[in-house]
Structure 1
């Protein structure tokens, strides 16, 4: 590292001397050395469209939307109670309810499979937007994968029980469900040897259990025969 800096500094001094001899104004050699070691600026990733863009900022929070006095308050108070000043968590709650209203069976339905899938879908999309901005956040990536597995499990259960509701849920929430492929494992030499050994152990244990059961049956038959012999010799 030091050798490279020294070499770059010498090159900078030589370039300065050549520029001075030619009558060209030159910059400081240390500045040129620093510029030669400057890191390139990373290009920012293009922003992906957020699921919260379609929520109007003038919408009031859920706790204050049904208050009858809200129409008489000042505009500044309305702005404080609206989504314009709300946090990301409050906006996500509104988005969850909007997605749940599309698949809700009744106005009071809060625990059906479709509603739970809608809630999980909103959380997954919020985590995807977060990971697009912060790709090294491993904790949230692990959390998103866990939520995706839970969503797949619910979709699979809904697909087996009510296929028409499953299709409507995927259409309303814009979800594409793919059937998981059957489990296939490439047989390696180590795996085949281990499988053959397990089968051999299983057969040996099976033989030993069969011999023990045979001995137990023979012992019970002999005991029954010994009990029956004295009874045969007694006079009637």
Structure 2
């Protein structure tokens, strides 16, 4: 048993010295980030152009000077008005009629607008624990509603994802912890696959390079056999079709070889430039 363990340790040391594989743990991505929440669309940046909802229907604000419009814009009135405007824009995309306020589509749109506003807040204040908990709760609530809609009305589910520009990322059924040992095993397998594929590719190129001389020798041999059989008046076993077939294969190989040489020369010129 000790001898077997010693041999395994020696083999592992040899492999470790020959194969240089470095494992780096992936960067941690918070749950509120768009990469994990599934929000493919951000917030409009120029908030000065958007007038608050309470003043947007006024006729006087349309002809007012730019300074007055700036005062009544969402950039001046605060984040709450901005969030209301974002939510209204998303709800208008999916609502069935103007009185639709509590269907699953409008609820998801309202939550999505709130999530995107909180994501921007978290980018500015990443240590805000209360906001982080709130945005996580909203993301989980939206996943629950999307899961329900996906189960009972899949066409509307796809339409909603397209309208709100979000990606559904459900909760995983099983939890798999990332370990260094497993990652190194996978990296080693990938490294071995690369070595095997490289050797197979080199061997294939070697065989293809030898195919031309082989076909030329085969063509000469067939012609010689046919001429000798005709001269000695023996039964002819090599016909013209066999010779024409080999000639066609040889011409095709020459064409492929010429294209390969041109590609190599072009690549070489690019590297030199």
Unaligned runs of 5+ in 1: 1-47, 187-236
Is 1:167 paired with 2:158? yes
CA distance in 1, matches of 2:168, 2:78: 31
CA distance in 2, matches of 1:84, 1:180: 36
Give how far 1:178 is off. 2.7
Identify the residue that residue 105 of structure 1 maps to in structure 2.
96
Give how far 1:86 is off. 2.2
Q: Choose the corresponding residue for 1:148, options 139, 143, 149.
A: 139
Number of positions where the alignment pairs a residue of Structure 1 with one of Structure 2 = 138
Give how far 1:74 is off. 5.3
SS of equivalent residue, structure 1 residue 68: coil
SS of equivalent residue, structure 2 residue 126: coil
Q: Could you report, residue by residue, the CA deviation over 1:110-135 in whole angstroms, capped at 9, with x for unpaired residues?
A: 11111111111111122222222222
Aligned-pair Cα RMSD in Å: 2.7
Unaligned runs of 5+ in 2: 1-33, 35-40, 178-273
Distance 1:140 1:71, change over 3 A: closer
CA distance in 2, matches of 1:124, 1:87: 17
CA distance in 2, matches of 1:74, 1:96: 27
Structure-1-length-normalised TM-score = 0.52
CA distance in 1, matches of 2:49, 2:176: 55
Q: Choose the corresponding residue for 2:111, options 120, 124, 127.
A: 120
Identify the residue that residue 51 of structure 2 maps to in structure 1.
60
CA distance in 1, matches of 2:111, 2:70: 29
Identify the residue that residue 76 of structure 2 maps to in structure 1.
85
CA distance in 1, matches of 2:175, 2:57: 55
Q: Which of the two has greater helix per residue?
A: 2
CA distance in 2, matches of 1:93, 1:58: 15
Structure-2-length-normalised TM-score = 0.45
Q: Could you report, residue by residue, the CA deviation over 1:53-96 in whole angstroms, capped at 9, with x for unpaired residues?
A: 1x552332111121234346555433322234221211111111
Contact 1:52–1:92 (CA under 8 A) maintained in structure 2: no
Structure with more contact order per residue of length (Cα contacts < 8 Å, sep ≥ 6): 2
